[in-house]
């Protein structure tokens, strides 16, 4: 029997860099929404029991990705085998739609999907707490995908707490096809200067978090062409926000009609860009 798990993208609606820690990582505070329901920004991981563990990757954004032990899906599967104390041989297929290196959490979402898929396929009955601990070992963004919805992240982002749902404004997501290295962006903070370490103030229930990303200046330092996307979104009346460390941008609009009109302007003028409505 084939099992399948959806792996959606994410949007950091608030990202504050509060300082650099003694271990070299940065202390962060984030409010992130998992973009469930955006089909063109959702990977699919499917699998069935087999004689040995194997991963096949396909899909419009799967080119160039490797299916070896460095892949987060395989790493997640190995943690499940470690917990189960036995091999979990399976034929896994990953259909990629989330662009790589865009700041949308595609690899992290795939890893979370692998934890859920293996737990279900082999009836391991691992509790949520144990899956979250495994997720934190895989990467800072992986745990939030196990929770879904809107999530507060602190520390490196790996300590996650569910928040009450806060509706997204009409959003246009634009990916210019650039790849931005996350470690390079964090290193560049030392060149452009750390932003003022201001944590998220308490918000009334149902209030959207501030539209803020403290990595923006560093990302533009590392990859100046990102500014073209920002400016194009501003020209259409949007309020752009860099997604994570880039290279995707999200712009919010007052109405869905304004967002849709912006998409109609940008698609023909920038045919190489990926553009999605959320």
Q: What is the pTM of this model?
A: 0.94
pLDDT, residue 9, reads 98
Residue 19, Cβ neighbours under 10 Å: how many? 9
Q: How far apart are CA 69 and CA 73, in angstroms?
A: 9
CA dihedral 124, 127, 128, 130 (to 10 degrees): -90
CATH class of 171-277: alpha beta
Q: How far apart are CA 92 and CA 111, in angstroms?
A: 12
Say yes or no: do domains 3-162 and 171-277 share a fold.
no
pLDDT, residue 119, reads 98
Active site (annotated) includes residue 10: yes
The SS3 of residue 29 is: strand
Which segments of the chain have a pLDDT < 70? 203
Q: What is the pLDDT of residues 153-203, one digit of tens each?
A: 999 999 999 998 888 999 999 999 998 888 999 999 988 887 777 777 776
Domain ranges of the chain: 3-162, 171-277
CB of 172 within 8 A of CB of 178?
no
| Burial bucket for residue 33 (CB in 10 Å: 0-12, 13-18, 19+) | buried
Active site (annotated) includes residue 258: no
183-187: long-range contacts, CB 8 A cutoff, minimum separation 24: 184/222, 185/215, 185/218, 185/219, 185/222, 185/245, 185/246, 186/26, 186/215, 186/218, 186/245
pLDDT, residue 231, reads 98
Active-site residue among 10, 43, 75, 110?
10
Helix (H) or strand (E) holding 214: none
Sign of CA dihedral 28, 30, 35, 36: positive
pLDDT, residue 1, reads 85
What DSSP assignment string belongs to 80-133?
Answer: HHHHHTS---EEEEEE--SPTTSSS-HHHHHHHHHHHHHHHHTT----HHHHHH
Joined tokens for residue 157: 């982002």
Active-site residue among 43, 110, 141, 214?
141
Could you tell me which residues are beta bridge partners of residue 17? 28
Least Cα distance to 124 among 72, 94, 85, 76 occurs for 85
pLDDT, residue 193, reads 81
Q: How far apart are CA 130 and CA 151, in angstroms?
A: 18
Q: How far is CA 173 from CA 69, 133, 193, 278, in A?
A: 31, 31, 27, 7
Residue 23, Cβ neighbours under 10 Å: how many? 7
- What is the CATH number that goes with domain 3-162? 3.30.230.10
């Amino acid at each position: 029997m084939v099992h399948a798990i959806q792996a959606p993208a994410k949007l950091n609606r608030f990202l504050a860099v509060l300082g650099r820690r003694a271990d070299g990582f940065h202390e962060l505070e984030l409010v992130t929404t998992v973009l469930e329901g955006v089909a063109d920004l959702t990977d699919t991981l499917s699998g069935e029991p087999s004689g040995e563990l194997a991963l096949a990757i396909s899909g419009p954004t799967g080119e160039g990705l490797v299916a070896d032990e460095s892949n987060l899906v395989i790493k997640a599967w190995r943690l499940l085998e470690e917990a189960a104390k036995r091999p979990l041989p399976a034929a896994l297929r990953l259909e990629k739609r989330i662009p790589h290196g865009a700041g949308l959490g595609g690899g992290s979402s795939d890893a979370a999907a692998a934890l859920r898929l293996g737990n279900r396929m082999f009836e391991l009955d691992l509790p949520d707490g144990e899956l979250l601990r495994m997720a934190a070992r895989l990467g800072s963004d992986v745990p939030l995908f196990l929770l879904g919805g809107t999530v507060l992240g602190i520390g490196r982002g790996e300590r996650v707490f569910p928040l009450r749902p806060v509706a997204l404004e009409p959003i246009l997501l634009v990916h210019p096809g650039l790849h931005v290295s996350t470690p390079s962006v964090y290193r560049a903070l030392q060149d452009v200067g750390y932003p003022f370490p201001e944590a998220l103030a308490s918000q009334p229930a149902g209030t959207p978090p501030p539209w803020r990303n403290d990595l923006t200046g560093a990302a533009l330092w590392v990859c100046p062409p990102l500014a073209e996307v920002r400016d194009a979104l501003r020209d259409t009346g949007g309020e752009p926000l860099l997604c994570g460390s880039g290279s995707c941008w999200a712009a919010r609009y007052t109405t869905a009609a304004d967002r849709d009109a912006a998409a109609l302007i940008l698609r023909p003028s920038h045919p190489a860009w990926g553009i999605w409505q959320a």
